[in-house]
Amino acid sequence: MVEKFYIKGGTPLKGEVLIGGAKNSVLKLMAAALLAKGESKIYNVPELTDVEIMLQVINGLGVKTSYNKEEKSLTIDATEITNITAKYELVSKMRASFNVLGALVSRCKEAIVALPGGCAIGERRVDFHIKGLEALGAKIKIENGYVHAKANKLVGAEICLDLPSVGATENLMLAGVFAEGATRIQNAAQEPEIVDLANFLNAMGADIIGAGTSEVVINGVRQEDLHPIEYTTIPDRIEAGTFMAAIVGTKGKAVIRNIYPAHLTFFTDKLLKMGANIKLVDPTSIEVACKNRLNSINFVTQPYPGFPTDLQSMAMTLLTTANGVGIITESLYENRFMQVPELRRMGADIHQDRNHAIIKGVKKLTGATLTASDLRAGASLVVAALMAEGNSVIEKLHHIDRGYENFENKIRLLGGKIERKDEVVVSPVELTEGIRNESYI
Active-site annotation, residues: 119
Residues 197, 30: Cα–Cα separation, whole Å: 10
Closest listed residue to residue 166, CA positions, set 375, 312, 310, 374: 310
Contact between residue 53 and residue 94 where contact means Cβ atoms under 8 Å apart: yes
| DSSP H or E segment with residue 315 | helix 312-319
Question: Can the peptide bond before residue 261 be classed as cis, meaning omega within 30 degrees of 0?
Answer: no
Residues 226, 12: Cα–Cα separation, whole Å: 50
Residues 118, 373: Cα–Cα separation, whole Å: 12
Half-sphere exposure at residue 64, Cβ-oriented, CA atoms within 13 angstroms: 6
Half-sphere exposure at residue 221, Cβ-oriented, CA atoms within 13 angstroms: 20
Half-sphere exposure at residue 333, Cβ-oriented, CA atoms within 13 angstroms: 21
Q: Tell me how far apart the 2 most distant CA atoms of the chain are, in Å.
A: 75
Q: Specify the 3-state DSSP secondary structure of 76.
A: strand
Q: Specify the 3-state DSSP secondary structure of 28.
A: helix
Residues 29, 26: Cα–Cα separation, whole Å: 5
Phi-psi region of 138 (alpha: psi -120 to 50; beta: other; left: phi over 0): beta
Contact between residue 55 and residue 65 where contact means Cβ atoms under 8 Å apart: yes
Closest listed residue to residue 291, CA positions, set 322, 255, 252: 252
